[in-house]
Amino acid sequence: MAESWQAKRVLVTGGAGFLGRFVVARLDGAGAKVFVPRSREYDLRDREAVRRALADSGAEVVIHLAAVVGGIGANRDHPGRFFYDNAVMGIELMEQARLAGVAKFVTVGTVCSYPKFAPLPFREADLWAGYPEETNAPYGLAKKMLLVQGQAYRAEYGFDVIHLVPVNLYGPGDSFDAANSHVIPALIRKCVEAHASGAREVVLWGTGTASREFLYVDDAAEGIVLAAQAYESAEPVNLGVGREMTIGELAREIAAATGFTGSFAWDRSKPDGQPRRALDTSRAREAFGFEARTPFAEGLRRTVEWYRAQPAATSAATAS
């Protein structure tokens, strides 16, 4: 793999973010010349800023990771922003990359694009089998429009665009912000604080019966880099592990990993989100040899250890 990336110029949007840092590290290790446009210098919603980023990077490959994301609460509170920002960033970036002569464009979408009641396991052919879960539909549909754009550009212009659909990610460096975090960092934070304060109960959203599939962030980065190197098809590709767990099971795993021995109370007035998520990962395995390698317990241990080492975690535990 290193030979194919040696000295190749790669623009990675969102390269300073949670997933982006792992993708950049893998590309750096393979000898690529990576350019990460920072939002304070390049507003990717602005056409001229996108053109500058492409010109400054001299990109041969673009990997588009930048996104406005959050948990159920953030999606519910900001549907307009989540739709507009995610749609316009991707649409403008792909168009300008085409005009600039970029050789390959990698779009990283979202499992939120799948229909709310897609058959299990989720197969790429079922992306259009219904409407997404309502609380994150604006985000999911904005990302899915980039699949349509990429397929249209491949058909009309011969532009080599691929579309990857990762399942829920977790790992060191994730956002643990109370307002915007996803389920694993949110639960880790709550359990660490409860353990530190001696609380006997933690309140969680929903019923605990919804299921999710979780992919360790560095495994996702490996899959993205492999696909960028070897995949050349208009068809989208799932990146996942092929195993789901309920949120109740997840909560018990996190309690054990953090030392929290109390109980969970479920606030049923809050939404569960999509009822179930589990991916068919056979296309990624067959097309470019990707299989997730990190056992969930190991990835969770690393994530908890990373969070506990952060000043914010120490401060929160002390305040509790």
Signed CA dihedral, 216, 219, 225, 226: sign only: negative
139 a catalytic residue: yes
Pairing of the two strands 214-216 and 168-170:
parallel
The residue among 151, 49, 73 whose CA lies nearest residue 109 is: 151
- Write the burial class of residue 280 (CB in 10 Å: 0-12 exposed, 13-18 middle, 19+ buried): middle
- Write the burial class of residue 92 (CB in 10 Å: 0-12 exposed, 13-18 middle, 19+ buried): middle
CB 196 within 8 A of CB 320: yes
Rounded Cα distance between 137 and 124, Å, is 17
The residue among 289, 264, 239 whose CA lies nearest residue 106 is: 239
**H or E stretch covering 11:** strand 9-13
In the set 42, 114, 139, 216, the catalytic residue is: 139
Rounded Cα distance between 214 and 166, Å, is 9
- Write the burial class of residue 1 (CB in 10 Å: 0-12 exposed, 13-18 middle, 19+ buried): middle
Query: Which residues are tagged catalytic?
Result: 139
